[in-house]
Amino acid sequence: MPGQIIDEIEVRIAKAPNMSDENRGAPLQPLRVLRTEVTDLSATSVEKFEGPHPRQTQTVTDLCSILARMGI
């Protein structure tokens, strides 16, 4: 499931009409990091995940900020 969501985000970035090709790289790097570090989290709540996984939590937070600033 997380991989599918990441795929969908990548497609939206690729199709974003208000984003230049050179700006597309900014959100793609955190997505690559996220893809390699995220495993099946469907059974883990956010609270249980944040504590032992601060780096992954920060990566998701950073990615959300980047995408929000881009209007995605």
- List the chain pLDDT tens, one digit each, 72 residues: 677 888 888 898 888 888 888 888 888 888 888 887 775 565 567 677 778 888 888 888 898 898 888 887
In terms of residue numbers, what domain contains 60? 2-69
At residue 33, the pLDDT reads: 83
Instruction: Give the C-alpha distances (Å, rounded to integers) separating 35 from 7, 17, 18, 71.
Output: 9, 24, 25, 22
At residue 18, the pLDDT reads: 86
Helix 54-69 / helix 25-37 crossing angle, nearest 10 deg: 150
**What pTM was estimated for this model as a whole?**
0.56
Domain count, the chain: 1
At residue 43, the pLDDT reads: 58
